Amino acid sequence: MNKRITVLSGDCIGPEITAQGILALEAVAKVFGHRFDFCEVPFGGAAVDACGVPFPDETRRACEEADAVLLGSVGGPKWDGLPKELRPEKGLLQMRSALGLFGNLRPAKLHPQLAFACPLRPEIVEKGIDIMTVRELTGGIYFGAHETRQQDGQRIATDLMIYSEGEIDRILRVGFEAARKRRGRLTSVEKSNVLDCSRLWRERAHALSTEYPDVELIDMLVDNAAMQLVRDPSQFDVIVTENMFGDILSDESSMIVGSIGMMPSASLRNDSFGVYEPIHGSAPDIAGKDLANPIGTILSAAMMLRYSFSMAQEADAVERAVSEVLDTGLRTADIMSGGMKQVGCREMGRAIAAAIRA
């Protein structure tokens, strides 16, 4: 197969990790006889520097013309002082919205080799952690009106959380479908004891659940969910939730599987196109030092193979290669422990690419 992949490396450690994602995809192409064409375009702070805006039209076109997008990370102190419309993070939100990527999958699975890196007690970890968070990505408080105004001699800020039934239903369906293919448990996370958006959410979840009799639906308030994730993460199969709750809970779930550096994600819509990125940020403190963990990006590339290209065997091969390399004891700094061999981003990437076999 021939596929076009647009690469948005972004800022700070972005180029270092996407380089390793590309290396893994090139290894897959070679081993399985595919052709992947990569096209790199500016995004985030790099695009602000090159074109004056974080998500230029040219970048948008390059995404629209591709079969899938591999993204690194955006943001850094250099751009923190910019007006909010020009911040690299704004470019990320514009990209998600412009491309209609409403469904964000964030799998958190504990690699047994990294069990020690999990901050939870062994008897909690023993039961296994394998959670798929389905985060709504183009609505809610991220995309409602934001305003800071002057009133009665002080500033007042408002951020509007807004959801339509249509937006709620389409993400809930992603959750039900995912649970159906996994262990059949869907935890719908909201705050219906306080928020109207959440009451509508809970009502729609129950309405749709009649179409998925094979899936067990569990309602959970977000504060309780945050607590349950560390009390007993084995109770979760698929979590479906709105944009901001998903942002917060996916960082929490990344920590309980050892390191945020390990966590991939896929941002999808109702066709095969998707944007694939690690969930961690741009890590300005370690940028350019060959210290970043490329595994989140490499596993994101595996998700690209699985979800956008329907290449399940190829995706399995990448995930197996990651696991094999962890077995050999190679570790980046964030997952390092006694008796293991610490390597940089490049060496980790090379080792994984070399371990990809049919």
In terms of CB distance, is 247 or 314 closer to Mg ion?
Answer: 247
Minimum Å gap between C-beta 279 and ligand IPM is 5
The residue within the footprint of Mg ion, chosen from 11, 67, 136, 247 (CB under 5 A), is: 247
CA distances from 28 to 23, 142, 277, 311 (A): 9, 36, 18, 10
Sequence-distant (6+) residues with CB within 8 A of 63 are 6, 8, 69, 95, 99, 275
Is there binding between residue 279 and ligand IPM (CB under 6 A)?
Answer: yes
The residue within the footprint of ligand IPM, chosen from 38, 60, 86, 89 (CB under 6 A), is: 89
Q: Where are the beta strands (DSSP E) in the chain?
A: 2-10, 35-40, 68-73, 103-109, 130-136, 146-151, 154-159, 185-190, 216-221, 238-241, 266-268, 274-276, 330-331, 341-342
In whole angstroms, give the CA distance from residue 308 to residue 326: 26
Backbone torsions φ then ψ of 220, nearest 5 degrees: -145, 130
Q: Which of 90, 142, 212, 237 is catalytic?
A: 142
Per-residue mark of binding to ligand IPM, 229-248 (x: CB under 6 A): ------------------x-
In whole angstroms, what separates CA 266 from the centre of its chain? 6
Of residues 12-41, which lie at the interface with ligand IPM (CB under 6 A)? none
Of residues 295-314, which lie at the interface with ligand IPM (CB under 6 A)? none
In terms of CB distance, is 59 or 113 closer to ligand IPM?
Answer: 59
Q: Which of 37, 80, 196, 223 is catalytic?
A: 223
Please indicate whether residue 247 is annotated as part of the active site: yes
Please indicate whether residue 142 is annotated as part of the active site: yes
Is there binding between residue 92 and ligand IPM (CB under 6 A)?
Answer: yes
Quick one: tokens of 224? 């309780």
Q: Which of 247, 276, 307, 334 is catalytic?
A: 247
Applying CB under 5 A, the residues found at the interface with Mg ion are 247
Applying CB under 6 A, the residues found at the interface with ligand IPM are 89, 92, 247, 279
